[in-house]
Structure formats: C-alpha cells, structure tokens
Structure 1
C-alpha cells in the first residue's frame, strides 16, 4: 500500500457561545480536516485544531505545511512505515498539530487496513472513557449552573475550571461556590493557562485549601524557571504540565527539573505515536497523566477517546471530552454521545470518524 495524496481541507463551524480562558478565547472552530489517500482506496482521517495563541499554528499554516512540505515527503510512502514518516516530518521544526494529525491519519489507515479499531491496536484497555467538562470564565453562580446541568444531562462528575483571572478572588470564589454546590463527590481541578505568577498561584492554593481541588494545571509560565520550581516544590497537589509539555523531550525536561509533577497528553498536538512515548515516560516515572482537550470537534474528541481508552493510565482519570457540545454543528456522520458520564470508542475499523460529506461541503473554506 502507498500514500497517494494528502488533502488538507480548511473549514469553519461557529460555537454556540465563546469559551474564554487566560490565554485567549474561541468563537469559531477554524480547523483543518486532514485526509491521507492510498492506492488501495483506504483513507485516513484526522482533525487539526489550530491554536495560534498557544502553539503558533493557524488554519492557513497547517494547510500550507501539509500541502507544500509534508505531501512531497510522504506521497509514495507505505503508511505502515510510521517511523519513516516521522523522520521525514521531524526535519521540519514545530508544527506539532499538523504532525499530530498526520500521525492519527496513519493509525486510522492501519486500523482500517487490518479491520481493527485503533483503540485495540494501541492497547485495548477499555471500550469507553470517563468525561470531564471544562468550565470557562464566568461568574461563579453561572459556572455552578452549567456544572449542575452537565451533571444532570450527561452524568458528568469531574470539572476542569479555567482560572488565571485577576483579581484572584474571582477564581477563589468560583472554587468555593462549585464545591458547595456540587458536593464532596465531584472532582474539581484548575487550569490557569499560565495566567498567574508563581506567587499568585501559591496564594490561590492557600485560599482554596480544604476545598478538595485535585490538580493545578499550568499555573504560571514554565519559562519563569525559578518561580515555577518554587511553586511546584510547595504545592500540596500535583502541578500539571500542558503547554510546557507538548513533546517527549519537553516532558522529560519539565519532570526531571521539577517543572511539573503530572502531565496533560493531547493527541491533537502529539498524534498517537508521540502520545504513547509521553505516556511511557510518565508511567515509568510514576507520574499521573490527564487526557486534555484542544477545544476539539467530535472528530478530534473521538481520537482522544481512542487513545485514552486504550491505556490503563490514561483511563484512570476523566478526559476533557465534552467541549464539542458548545459547537453549533460537527462533521461526524454519527454524533458522539455522552451517556452515564462516559463516551464509548467506535467498534468500527480505524478511529471511526466517518465524515458527513454534505456538512463538510457546507462548512469548508475556499
């Protein structure tokens, strides 16, 4: 089997409401649907979500790097030769989301060619994954209302609260209101998206002591090395690396130098192959992992479920999988469903992302 073409299709789907957080806000999904075509008619599918305020990639840059750089390198290659594909793409620095999408599409081809769901190829630990819901910047009472609604409608009991606001009292109050309203059984963890200084993060930890906050993700910029290490050494809860840990090399650096004590894995920026490398580093060092969200569509969320459900360690915590519910539409022919607080993997070969061609035609950009 040979790769015959790479197809990068830009498309835009509005969100029903913007999601706001410390490093930016999102009003529309300006994504790229990636298709890898083969001479046997098997097509690998993946979604690439640009996040310029985090990684620098844009919709236009992903289309350009796929068409102008990756396509000439990969056309004619056997899609099972993933190491060769990665070696070719590695010659281009950065562009993690574009590379991750290519990798997921390669795994999708492998699953379809072998007639096996990708989550089985990756590990096959579980057939489903527990869901965490991400709460953006809102007044505390509105956050509680949203959390209660998602709990009632979807059975979700884990909530990731976006923080990093000033004054700090806004986020502290949100933590208090959520704990009081959700009860002791709900899990609440925080993500500041580098919005605080190390000292501000320590103050928030002091003020929220006793509220049962389980994790603190990217509280301050990891590049502020001394402050970050001081915070991690004093934190009573795990500090999670996310923006600071996109690659295995970054993960090694941050864990071994004391920059974090847990790691967020996002298949949208690592694909499945690098995600497995990151997971191996974390399990070998006894470090907890979470499955994160790039404000993914259902196509991207399905890929996260495939990887997260495949492994014991990534199944141990709820994955951030529900933000597609804030989108006005999606490209999947068969929508994802959250039932009993979980999303199931697809039993079909590959990742299982069958695209509704009429919707793609409607939302695609010139």
Structure 2
C-alpha cells in the first residue's frame, strides 16, 4: 500500500449557465483530478475545485503545489499513514482543496485495496442522503422556474437560495416568491456569501421572518467580529458558518465567540480526515451541520455523499449535492443520478466510481 505517484490533472468543463453569487461567479468548472497510485497497482481519485474568491486557490496553483510539494513529501508513505500525510501537507500554508483532494484520493485507494467503501471505513451509517439544490442570483420568476424544473425532474424539495445583493429587497423578493409558489412543500434557507453588512442582514431576515427559513448562512463577513456576533444574537434560526470555518480551530473560535450556531462541512475543503475532525467537534458542541457544496463536479459530489452517509448527524438535513446538474458534462463513466430527491452513495470499494478515459482526454487541459 505504498504511494508511488501523485498526479494532478487539470480539466475544464463549461457550465450550462453562469453560476452567480455574492462572492463571485463561475462560467467553467476548471477543476483538478487528483490520482494517488500505489505499488499494488491501485489508483485512488478525488477532485479539487479551486475557488480563488474564497480560498485564494487557482487551478494552476493546485497543480503546482501537488506536483512540486505534496507528491515528493508523500511518495513512499503507506495509505494507512494518513496522519503523517496530513502533517507533511500542513507544513505548506493554505491550499485547502489541494490538500483535501490528496487526502480523499488516499482514502479511496485504501478502500479499493481493502475491498471496503469509504463510507464503511468512516462510519457506515446509511447509503443515501436527501438532496438540497442551490439557486444562484436571478430574477424571482426565473428562480421559481428553476426550482420547479429541479423539483419535477429530480424530486428535490430543499433549496438553498443565494442572497447578498443590494438592496436586500432584491433577494427577499425571490425567497418570498419561492415560498408563495411552493408553500410548505419545500424547505428554504439562504446563503449570503458575506455579501451584506450585519445591519443589512438583520433587515433582510426580518423581512423574511414569516417565510419559515431553515437556516441562514454567512450573511455578513466573519471578520466584522462585533457585527457578526450582534447579528447571530438577533437571528432566530441556526446561523451556518461555512467559508469562515475551514479548520476545526476556526469552528471553535466562531462558535465559542458567538458568531455561528451551525456549520457546513465540505469535503472539498477538509477532505475526509479533516471533515471527520470537524464533524466530531461539532457533534460534541451540539451544533447543527449540513453537507455543503464547493460547486463540485460529480467526482467531488461522490466524495461528499460518501462522507455524509457515514454519519447520522450529517444525514439529518438535505445535503448540497446537486450542483453538478449545472455542468454540461462530467468525467464519470457511470454518471450520478438523483431520484426522488435522494442521492445514493456509489456501491463498491473506495468511492465506487471510475473515470471515463475518453472524457478525461477530451476535457483535460495539460495536453
């Protein structure tokens, strides 16, 4: 089970439509496929989705840090030495999605070697999760139509609505239109991606007080320390910390400091090793938690559902597992399917998926 090589393959797949939110917009999935090879001939795989406007990573930067720093540090390690691998990668500051993808590819390779799924290795709670779909910025009629389409095609009844525009009435009108169209048949929550100030956030939440929101997420910047604490004190739904809690230490600071009451776990950001740490910490603190989405492709989504189905707490709410539907294509030989509002983890050892070599050849950008 010794690591013999770590590959970082950049690829680009266009989105069907531009995804817009307060911190930026995405036109093309410019991701990196990470493959960990072992001396047994096993290959573990995962996906790194760069988000320069959130974590500062770029596609080229992910490839460079894996090829130049992580691969030389990890070659020769056993797949079982995940803590050693974690420590060696931690010597390099930042680069969360690059580290996460390497970690998940190691777990995938370990599961394939042992003949066990990653979900079984982590906890083995269930084989499926309810799915939440993210709705990006648009006018109310178009966002309602998008929700209708997703509900009719895939049975999804939970929607995360991107907010954070000015004036706040642009977004509160959208959420109200969704509630008026679907009534209590759907769950709604909002994500501001730090787009509003604390006062704007509270004004928006008061305008939506009668809409039965499930959560509010990252409505204002976490570095507005006093404003964020004041906001959380006045909001009467769980306040999710997402990009402000990339590590367990950040979770501790935000929660104990009164700046959050729930968290989003993203395997694209913390891998399986780090996500398990975050999960157990949140469980101990009694926090609500959701499985978040880094605008993952199908590879990243397979990773997220593998982790989410491992634990009871991560299955309590719908996971954000559907944004690959906005991509024009993907790399998997057998695409993921959302049916009846649920996504099943892939059967088989490791993460249970295979890459279509023709698609990889078509979309990789390092040829």
1:218 — aligned with what? Answer: 218
Distance 1:285 1:75 in 2: 37
Distance 2:176 2:346 in 1: 38
Q: 1:347: how far off? A: 1.3
Q: Which residue of 2 aligns with 1:259?
A: 259
Does residue 132 of structure 1 match 2:140?
no
Please state whether the residue corresponding to 1:184 is helix, strand or coil: helix
Looking at structure 2, the residues matched to 213 and 298 of structure 1 have their Cα atoms a distance apart, in angstroms, of 28
TM-score normalised by length of structure 1:
0.99
Cα-to-partner distance string for 1:114-138 (whole Å, 9 max, x where unaligned)? 1011111111111011100000001
Q: Does the alignment pair 1:52 with 2:52? A: yes
Q: Distance in 2 between matches of 1:223 and 1:85?
A: 31
Question: In the alignment, which residue of structure 1 is the partner of 2:169?
Answer: 169
Structure 1: gaps of 5 or more residues: none
1:72 and 2:62 aligned: no
In 1, Cα distance between equivalents of 2:172 and 2:354: 42
Distance of 2:336 and 2:309 partners within structure 1: 15
Q: Distance in 2 between matches of 1:111 and 1:237?
A: 38
Aligned counterpart, 1:200: 200
The yes-or-no answer on 1:35 pairing with 2:71 is no
SS of corresponding position for 2:304: helix
How many angstroms does 1:141 deviate by? 1.0
Q: How many residues align?
A: 366
Determine if the alignment matches structure 1 residue 243 to structure 2 residue 243.
yes
Deviation at 1:213, TM superposition (A): 0.9
Q: Which residue of 2 aligns with 1:26?
A: 26
Displacement of 1:11 after TM fit? 0.5
After superposing on structure 2, the runs of 4+ consecutive aligned residues of structure 1 that deviate more than 2 Å are: none
1:280 match: 280
Output the CA distance in 1 between the equivalents of 2:345 and 2:352.
8
Give the C-alpha shift of residue 22 in structure 1: 0.2
Aligned to 1:98: 98
Distance in 2, matches of 1:357 and 1:231, equals: 49
Counterpart Cα distance in 2 of 1:48 and 1:175: 31
User: Partners in 1 of 2:279 and 2:58 — Cα distance?
Assistant: 27
TM-score (structure 2 length as normaliser): 0.99
State the secondary structure of the residue aligned to 1:255.
Answer: helix
Matched, 1:347 2:360: no
